[in-house]
Amino acid sequence: MSKSPILAGVVGWPVTYSLSPVIHSTWAHRADINGYYIPVAIPPTEDEFRQVINGLRRVGFAGINVTKPHKENALRMADGASEIAKKAGAANMLTFHEDHIYADNSDVIGFANAVKDQSNNPGNHGLVLGAGGAARGIILALQSLGLKKITITNRTREKAEALADEFTLDVVDWDRRNISLDTADILVNTTSLGMTGQPPLEIDLSTLKPKSIVADIVYSPLETPLLKAASGHHTIDGLSMLMHQAVPGFKQWFGGTAIVDEALKQTLLTEIKRRETA
């Protein structure tokens, strides 16, 4: 009798925009694995999240990735969690074991590996724009890369100060964000500014050192106004982080090799174009 296919997926609200199914299908196809990775929309309440997750577990899913707005719900629902997920306060991976659910956070290693693609020595000083959920993962990634000093700036200063207390960071006023740029080795935008439908991020990159890295974690649009302004610097776009964060889930659930390469990126770019014209 042939074995039944491995099932995994991504849950969020909305979830139709997710490119994760394309990433996992590409890797499954490359490794000749009999498996499906399915997007599942779960309305934004913790109750519905728990019900659907229990259902997916019952029908035999190996695990799921979790995206907005359920990453905190995922961590709360799990029976156990990695240290990094606990520190991030959010989980983007749930693995269903026979008698327990385990939560992990691969956004952190995903961003760290996206940085390593650009440089093995990202320097000492990171400047993080924004203090929401995404900023927490980025801060942990920068700390894991060995950056000695991380500065955070946010429109609402109190939120930056709360993160600074928790992760030992420096804080600068949002209005003074340009001033801290001259010593930054890596600049990361985690705010929603620059996303499709949002105002652009206003920042003057003229004092940024030529070798500094500029990163934006969104992929809609792929080339945000910030990344456009950073031409000439090493840049990291949202697709790079997305591809790298998918690796641990694929390995865990499908059990195959997952390689982030130019061919995968081209597949995603083709899919983005197809959706734009569909």
Please identify every residue annotated as catalytic: 71
Which one of 38, 50, 116, 133 is in contact with ligand ATR (CB under 6 A)? 133
Interface region with ligand ATR, contact rule CB under 6 A, candidates 34-42, 187-195, 228-236, 258-266? 187-195
Q: Which amino acid is at 278?
A: A
Site string for ligand ATR, 217-256 (x = CB under 6 A): ----------------------------------------
- Tell whether residue 178 is a contact of ligand ATR (CB under 6 A): no
- 194 near ligand ATR (CB under 6 A): no
Residues 6+ apart with CB under 8 A from 78: 85, 91, 94, 100, 101, 102, 103
The span from the CA of 131 to the CA of 247, in Å, is 26
Q: Show Cβ contacts of residue 180 under 8 Å, excluding neighbours closer than 6 positions.
A: 127, 151, 153, 172
CA distances from 9 to 19, 82, 96, 216 (A): 11, 20, 12, 25
Smaller CB distance to ligand ATR: residue 42 or 62? Answer: 42
Range in contact with ligand ATR (rule: CB under 6 A) among 1-9, 55-63, 132-140, 221-229:
132-140
d(CA 61, CA 258): 19
Which residues have CB under 8 Å from 263's CB, separation 6+? Answer: none
Closest residue to bound ligand ATR by CB: 132
Within residues 134-153, the interface with ligand ATR by CB under 6 A covers 134-135
Nearer to ligand ATR, 79 or 175 (CB): 175
Helix (H, G, I), strand (E, B) or coil at 138: helix
Residue list 111-130, contact with ligand ATR (CB under 6 A): 130
Beta strands in 139-208 (DSSP E): 149-154, 170-173, 186-189
Q: Which is nearer to ligand ATR, 62 or 163 (CB)?
A: 163
DSSP states of 55-124: HHHHTT--EEEE-TT-HHHHHHH-SEE-HHHHHHT--SEEEE-SS-EEEE-HHHHHHHHHHHHH-S---S
Q: Which of 73, 143, 151, 190 is close enough to bind ligand ATR by CB under 6 A?
A: 190
Q: Which window, 24-32, 116-124, 161-169, 191-199, contacts ligand ATR (CB under 6 A)?
A: 191-199
Task: Say whether residue 155 binds ligand ATR (CB under 6 A).
Answer: yes
Question: 116, 149, 159, 265: which one contacts ligand ATR (CB under 6 A)?
Answer: 159
Q: Which residue has the tokens 């991504």?
A: 10
* Only segment of 10-18, 36-44, 186-194, 230-238 that touches ligand ATR (CB under 6 A): 186-194
Report how far residue 18's alpha carbon sits from residue 273's, in angstroms, rounded to the nearest whole number.
Answer: 14
Q: Which of 74, 131, 163, 213 binds ligand ATR (CB under 6 A)?
A: 131
Q: Which helix (H) or strand (E) holds 166?
A: helix 157-167
Q: Which of 28/160 has CB closer to ligand ATR?
A: 160
The site for ligand ATR (CB under 6 A) is made up of 130-135, 154-156, 159, 190-193, 199
